[in-house]
Amino acid sequence: MIEILPDKCDFCGCCVGICPEDAIELKEAEIKIIEQLCTNCSKCVWSCPIEVLKFNRNGAKNNLNAK
Amino acid sequence: MQNEYDIIVVGAGPAGTMAARFAAEMGVSVLVLEKDRDVGYPVRCGEAVSKAGIEEFIDSDPKFIASVINKFSFIAPDDTEIIIPLEEEGYVLERRIFDYELAKSASEAGAGFLTRAYVNGLLFDNGRVSGVKFEHQGEQKSLTAKIVIAADGVESRVGRWAGLKTHIDFRDMESAVQITAAGINDINNDTCYFYFGKEYAPEGYFWVFPKGNHSANIGLGVGGNIGKKKSALSFLNDFMRKKYPQASVLTTIAGGVPCTPTLNKIVAPGIMLVGDAARQVNPLSGGGIASGMIGGSIAGTVAAESIKQHKPDYILEYEKKWHDRLGKRHLIFNRIKEGIYNFSDEKFNDIAHAVSKVPVENRSIGKVFKTALFNKPSLLVDVAKVFLF
Ligand SMILES: Cc1cc2nc3c(=O)[nH]c(=O)nc-3n(C[C@H](O)[C@H](O)[C@H](O)COP(=O)(O)OP(=O)(O)OC[C@H]3O[C@@H](n4cnc5c(N)ncnc54)[C@H](O)[C@@H]3O)c2cc1C
Ligand code: SF4
Ligand code: SF4
């Protein structure tokens, strides 16, 4: 699953503009991945200019098991 | 605040405020909802714009102009520098003040503003957008409108809720990072600097735009394909270590610049998209201030006409008007961009060497282009490719 490194996000919206699933919620100073919509495609990770997002394989496994 | 407006605009950037102003000037009721606490802040922008680009909308005013630009400097991968005098002046703005002044002009025309209002959904009536849902001061609220104008910037979520496909390919999003730094002593205040090549910003460019008193906006954008391997931040850190190790960094911002042609559909029943949300940025330069204001002004005017004439479907005209004014041109710019993305460092160097033989007073962007071709006929093939495909 996609992990957001704490306190690093600049709330710029770049990742939101490319997310094919509309799975990122961004307020003035608050960001959240909507896990039910996220397909773990990692495009947001590649587009973040300041390395805030990480793909976490273990998390993804847990997420699938949980379903 | 009323419960009902003719037009609700989401987002108070240049595109949203111009949509609001042009609509309000025609006598319809307009409210702008902005999620941030201040209009114009934070500034996610290099702030460079042509004088003509802003004067269509607001008189030049020293209070929002940090520097007046009359030269471009292009720096090739081998450090060859080409200076090109501009035929038309440009500015580096103080966007914080500029955006605020734009909003003030919309407000003087009669538009209302509500900040810290986060729009999180749309209202529908028989499949037609009929208003917005939003969060304000911890409460969930809603407002109805005859037309919603989505000016929500690079994120462009509002349009998606109306069924428009607004997300773009990650390769076409320039991931950008910029610092404003002091202690940049070797730049001229009348020159914008652009660096090209693999080391600086592959599939993009690196910029240094002067802001007066030896300070500058320094940043870059890279396509998602590059960002996948090395982030924009990491390119910026390398550049600063090499060029300006002594600089003091005043602010750092991240951002995304959607460098694509405009979306195919920027109108759906009851809703219009403007600015970055519609992907109206010039895909070659990444500039979106002037083009966003143009998109906003056309949409605002068409929306007000549609309301006054009781013709809801008239808003479709906006798509055509935008396409004729700039959309078509952006298609060509996008092809050129794709051509330039594929230039090797050697090619950038070759062009710079060819142009450096031309006396400065004879240089203009158009002439540089021709000279590059004349001195290096093999480039003709590349340029032809860029223009033809
Ligand atoms: C690093 C960088 C450098 C740039 N440099 C230049 C440059 O030098 N020259 C140039 O011309 N252009 C430049 N651009 C592009 C330019 O900044 C944008 O094209 C321009 O700001 C677009 O204007 P806009 O009104 O469409 O969107 P924005 O200015 O982004 O405004 C959108 C507004 O909508 C608000 N919003 C978003 N979602 C919601 C919601 N759900 N509810 C309420 N409000 C919402 C946002 O808070 C924001 O205020 C640059 C961009 C970046 C990222
Ligand atoms: S991984 Fe893909 S679907 Fe999930 S938030 Fe990122 S871009 Fe969206
Ligand atoms: S792209 Fe990065 S910095 Fe920008 S909003 Fe997304 S996670 Fe935050």
Reported as a single tens digit per residue, the pLDDT across B229-245 is: 999 999 999 999 999 99
B155 CA: distance to closest CA in chain A (Å): 4
Asked if the structure places residue A62 within a domain, the reply is no
Residue owning the nearest CA to atom 6 of ligand 2: A44
Residue A4 burial by Cβ neighbours in a 10 Å radius (0-12, 13-18, 19+)? middle
For residues B28-56, one letter each, b for 16 or more C-beta atoms within 10 angstroms of the residue's C-beta and e for the rest, the string is: bbbbbbbbbeebbebbbbbbbbbbebbee
Asked if the structure places residue A67 within a domain, the reply is no
State if residue B281 touches ligand 1 by the CB under 6 angstroms criterion. Answer: yes
State if residue B95 touches ligand 1 by the CB under 6 angstroms criterion. Answer: no
Question: For the segment B139-164, what is each residue's pLDDT rounded down to a tens digit?
Answer: 999 999 999 999 999 999 999 999 99
pLDDT at B18 over 60: yes
Q: Nearest CB to A14: which of B35, B154, B228?
A: B154
Question: For the segment B342-375, what is each residue's pLDDT rounded down to a tens digit?
Answer: 889 998 898 888 888 888 887 777 766 666 666 6
Say how many domains are in chain A.
Answer: 1
Q: Which residues contact B11 (CB under 8 A, 6 or more apart)?
A: B32, B33, B34, B35, B150, B151, B152, B153, B275, B277
Asked if the structure places residue A64 within a domain, the reply is no
Task: Please give the distance, rounded to the nearest whole angstrom, from the Cα atom of residue B160 to the centre of ligand 2.
Answer: 15
Asked if the structure places residue A65 within a domain, the reply is no
Which A residues 3-62 touch B at CB under 8 Å? 10, 12-20, 22, 26-28, 43, 46-51
8 Å CB contact of A22 and B157: yes
**pLDDT, greater one: A8 or B380:** A8
**pLDDT, greater one: B66 or A62:** B66
B75 within 8 A of B220, measured Cβ to Cβ: no
In order of their start, the domains of chain B are 4-44+96-169+262-336 (3.50.50.60), 69-88+171-258 (3.30.9.10), 342-387 (no CATH)
Q: Tell me: ipTM over 0.90.
A: yes
pLDDT at B197 over 70: yes
Question: For the segment B68-113, what is each residue's pLDDT rounded down to a tens digit?
Answer: 999 999 999 999 998 988 888 999 999 999 999 999 999 999 999 9
CA distance B212 to B194: 17
Domain that holds residue A27: 2-55
8 Å CB contact of B256 and A43: no
Per-residue model confidence (pLDDT) at position A65: 35
Q: Which residues contact B277 (CB under 8 A, 6 or more apart)?
A: B11, B15, B150, B151, B152, B153, B154, B155, B156, B158, B159, B166
CATH code for the domain in which residue A23 is found: 3.30.70.20
What's CA B155's distance to the chain center, in Å?
A: 13
Q: Nearest CB to A27: which of B44, B118, B252?
A: B118
